[in-house]
Amino acid sequence: MPPPEAPPPPPDAPPARPLRVEGTPDPAPSRALWLVKWLLLIPHYIVLLLLWIGVVVVSVIAFFAILFTGRYPRALFDFTVGVLRWNWRVSYYGYGMLATDRYPPFTLGEAPDYPARLTVAYPERLSRGLVLVKWWLLAIPHYLILAAFSGAGMYSASGSGGWRTPGLIGASVLIVAIALLFTARYPRGLFNLLMGLNRWSLRVSVYALLLSDVYPPFRLDQGPLETERPL
């Protein structure tokens, strides 16, 4: 006899996987476009700087809204998710992945036909007490791991000067850039690894930005698509 089906979660239960991060690699990437992507992305960097200032303001408002009502105002939630989505597309095109030559669109909304996609399920209820500690105290272990991913704080002194290591993401992207330049091919293993690293980082961002109460797993989920493996 087949095993009985698990009962459905209660209607107000948080989704098991609030964030979905996916990316489709280009079949024939350019050898040298990455050399000028920094220049092409300047308009995006300027807009994102302003948008992230807005996210800081929105997060403060959302903090008090959750504290007193247990809800993240939907319009503010959509704005923050839109900024994360925009940032992910720019990172995917630029020096967080170098995984596509398609220029990212200037929009907070979804772009289903773009190779990089991000969605966050809206939570009907959030913990009023958890909001006090999750964005700093509970997230500290993840912040330490993400520092290694990005190279932040990894500084080595040498005489009167010093040097900062690029971190795992930076080193992997550098290898990808060299591979593209000489082979016009994106190493699939590095693509999967970078997807996993960026997915981990974005899960922590969603948690720290108060968008979800689901604690990020200490797990590197590699590959272009989200798996059905539960968090």
- The yes-or-no verdict on residue 125 having pLDDT over 60 is yes
Query: Which residues make beta-bridge pairs with 22?
Result: 117
| Average pLDDT value over all residues in the chain | 89
What CA dihedral angle connects 3, 12, 80 and 215, to 10 degrees? Answer: -60
Q: What is the pLDDT of residue 17?
A: 82
Which tops the pLDDT comparison, 115 or 4? 115
With a CB cutoff of 8 Å and minimum separation 6, the contacts of 14 are: 123, 212, 213, 214
Provide the whole-model pTM.
Answer: 0.88
Half-sphere exposure of 35 (CA within 13 A, CB side): 7
SS3 category, 10: coil
How far is the C-alpha of 30 from the C-alpha of 32, rounded, in Å? 6
User: For 59-97, how does the pLDDT look when each residue is reduced to its tens digit (9 = 90+)?
Assistant: 999 999 999 999 999 999 999 999 999 999 999 999 999
Which tops the pLDDT comparison, 101 or 159? 101
- Number of C-beta neighbours around residue 176 at 10 A: 23
With a CB cutoff of 8 Å and minimum separation 6, the contacts of 43 are: 106
* Structure token pair of residue 139: 């997230």
Q: What is the pLDDT of residue 164?
A: 58
- The yes-or-no verdict on residue 228 having pLDDT over 90 is no
Alpha helices, H only, 114-186: 140-150, 167-183
Number of helices (H), then strands (E), belonging to the chain: the values are 6, 4
